[in-house]
Amino acid sequence: MTVTPDAPRLHRRAPVWWMILPALVLLVGFLILPYISIVVMSFREASTKAVYGDGFTLAHYTDVIADPFIWGIVWRTVRTALIVTVVTLLLGYPVAYHLARTRSRVASLLYICVISPLLVGLVVRTFAWMIILSNNGIANSWMKALHLIDRPIQLLNTPLGVTIALIHVFLPFVILPLLGNLQAINPEIALAGRSLGASRMRTFFKVTLPLSMPGIQAGSILVFVLSISAYVTPAMLGGSQGRTMAVLVVQYLVDNFRWPAGAALAIFMAVITLAILVVYLRLTARAMRRLP
């Protein structure tokens, strides 16, 4: 048997492939194959006797694209996800920055406050928001006590109520990536800027904020994707006025038993989400390349 010079190198690489094989099997079995199945189902004909018929058709996609009602829900879903992403960034950045720089004993309490919502089920948290946002809930009671309103305003079954609850639900998902990024930035870089005469605010905007762009990018993408695909919170708080694409897809699949149409709707929304992410990644990558 002839041993080639590359044989020892291949032998060294073999354990690495065996280590990633379980993850590769899970990825193909539980992500790629289900996606392929959904794509195929979206082109199947509808049937009243089975999940889908025998033939193939493009009618589900043409119906989705030509329906202004669906476009309205798409716009509401994207708008809600964008608002949630921007607000969580504005609220989460100061918390992450403080946690990354402070050595106070209060930091442990802040860590608990950030992580503790993740330990409670999403249904429980959403139900709590139903109580808070109801006409007789805490939100309306406080606004009446502060003389901001004369009578209760409707927060339940509205896009505003869904947005408020999603901001609370996904706030930790933007704080944690930002915290890791800010902790990796050497504090002496900012101190060097201060020693050269820059103010604290100028040092932040010229040094710290640009260096934290990878954390901003990761956190914003995570929150945007989670917001645009959220189902439990819009279903419980949104009602008919706050209905999102995820709720509509489930209604197609479960309530109306229109699996091919629901699959086409899901693929349509996935394509829109992917297009937005590609544009965002290109813009942020271009911005990061211009950083000093």
Per-residue pLDDT, 191: 81
CATH of the domain at 69: 1.10.3720.10
**CA atoms of 129 and 60, how far apart (whole Å):** 36
The number of distinct structural domains making up the chain is 1
For 43, the 3-state DSSP assignment is coil
Q: Find out whether 213 and 288 touch, Cβ atoms under 8 Å.
A: yes
Q: Look at residue 238 in the predicted model and tell me its pLDDT.
A: 85
Q: Structure tokens of 34? A: 């289900």
Q: Is residue 262 part of a domain?
A: yes
Q: Is residue 81 part of a domain?
A: yes
Q: What is the pLDDT of residue 119?
A: 87
Q: Is residue 4 part of a domain?
A: no
* pLDDT score of 291: 66
Residue 186 lies in a domain: yes
How far is the CA of 20 from the CAs of 13, 27, 31, in angstroms?
11, 10, 16
pLDDT band, very low/low/confident/very high, at 151 (cuts 50, 70, 90):
confident
Integer CA distances (angstroms), 240 to 68, 158, 247, in order = 16, 8, 10
203, part of any domain: yes
Tell whether the model's pLDDT for residue 7 goes beyond 80. Answer: no
**Crossing angle of the two packed helices 59-66 and 259-289, in degrees rounded to 10:** 60
DSSP track, 146-164: TTS-SSPPP-TTSHHHHHH
Does residue 145 belong to any structural domain of this protein? yes
Q: Does 7 fall in a domain?
A: no
Q: Taking residues 136-165, report their average pLDDT.
A: 89
Query: What is the chain's mean pLDDT, rounded?
Result: 87
> How many percent of the chain have pLDDT more than 90?
46
10 vs 147, residue with greater confidence: 147
In a domain? residue 117 = yes
Cα dihedral angle (167, 171, 173, 175), rounded to 10 degrees?
A: 150
Q: What is the pLDDT of residues 197-232, one digit of tens each?
A: 788 888 888 888 888 999 999 999 999 999 999 999
State the pLDDT confidence band at 12, using cuts at 50, 70 and 90. low
Most confident by average pLDDT, 12-21, 52-61, 71-80:
71-80
pLDDT > 90? residue 85:
yes
118-131 pLDDT, tens digit each: 888 899 999 999 99
Which carries the bigger pLDDT value, residue 9 or residue 185?
185
The domain containing residue 219 runs over which residues?
Answer: 55-290
pLDDT at 110 over 90: no
Q: Where are the alpha helices (DSSP H) in the chain?
A: 7-27, 33-42, 59-66, 68-101, 106-115, 122-133, 138-145, 159-184, 187-195, 200-203, 209-211, 213-228, 232-237, 245-250, 259-289
1 confidence band (pLDDT: 50, 70, 90): very low
